Structure 1
């Protein structure tokens, strides 16, 4: 398999609520099917919506994580700890370690931001831009602490550097988050590492 080049992106203010099924950070999810808002395993409260990412074929992966700027719950870095979730629609399945409720809106990390391709003048070396939207078969993550893929043939959807996001997310000290899609395309996993 040929390894494709990553596509570095910057997220810029949308100037209002985004209501289309497109890649974005913040705001509220644009549900394709019935809402599936994940709940924290520890607190039972709704997780914070971080963003949604286009997967192709009219599908989206919705990223959630427990806590906000002032809240801390341990285990948000664990892919199966019940403190983060990557929900896939349509036709996805919620993993057994995640509890969801049918609520369309909830806590958000910030206002809507949409992607914009980073110009070549900004930084031509994509390996140094670990917040790239990847989502292309063959793209490998830029691990901070060593390989932690959820399993064989899981595809990287997005890699997010907490220092370069448009709002605060707690991925530890200058951490990077990694979202993956299962080989059958129906289930997601998320984890983060920090330096």
Structure 2
């Protein structure tokens, strides 16, 4: 996933930032620790079952929307998949409309970044990231993460179990913090976020490591 320039806050595309597109009846997630509204980070396509390529992701049937508390960074266990400091919500793609954004200084990112998806040969993520940078003459920070594939853990494997069926969840995406310090997501400084989904159960999960 690579930086494609700024896009509209309501664009129905793969992006970080902006306003989430949500189904009817949506309630903005609140942090379980501080009770404040979470910050919307990204909307990501979830591949149809059995599909692994970028083209399939482009027509995915679901969207995973990732939220994380930034009201008291570091104090609400926002890195943990089950502590309640973040949420990953899986929605059917059809019929989504812009959410009503609650009041607060930490609900939206400073920039809405469009994401391009480029297929790379099966290789460790950090190697594919470096090869893309060399091939296109662009900085590493223009790589915003990976869609599908295998997570490149900064620490140990923390693949979450689905809260509904208890099976290991499917890896959806790995997110870099962002292109610059002024607009980046907060994953502890140089960290990565990891998004997972269980499409049959319509469940999502998120965590980060640094």
Give the equivalent residue in structure 1 for 2:80: 78
* Alpha-carbon shift at residue 54 of structure 1 (Å): 1.8
Distance 1:125 1:184, change over 3 A: same
Give the equivalent residue in structure 2 for 1:141: 151
CA RMSD for the aligned pairs? Answer: 3.0
Q: Supply the distance in 2 between the matched residues of 1:145 and 1:170 (Cα, whole angstroms).
A: 17
Gaps (5+ residues) in structure 1? 1-7, 92-102
Which has the larger share of helix?
2
Q: Establish whether residue 189 from structure 1 lines up as the match of residue 205 from structure 2.
A: yes
Q: Establish whether residue 114 from structure 1 lines up as the match of residue 114 from structure 2.
A: yes
Give the equivalent residue in structure 2 for 1:64: 67
Give the equivalent residue in structure 2 for 1:17: 9
* Alpha-carbon shift at residue 126 of structure 1 (Å): 1.5
Give the equivalent residue in structure 2 for 1:162: 177
Gaps (5+ residues) in structure 2? 48-59, 94-98, 121-125, 131-139, 162-166
Q: Supply the distance in 2 between the matched residues of 1:13 and 1:185 (Cα, whole angstroms).
A: 33
Contact 1:26–1:50, Cα closer than 8 Å, also in 2: yes
Task: State the aligned residue count.
Answer: 168
* Alpha-carbon shift at residue 18 of structure 1 (Å): 2.6
* Alpha-carbon shift at residue 144 of structure 1 (Å): 0.5
| Matching residue within 19, 22, 31 for 1:31 | 22
Q: Supply the distance in 2 between the matched residues of 1:191 and 1:112 (Cα, whole angstroms).
A: 21
SS in 2 for 1:145: coil
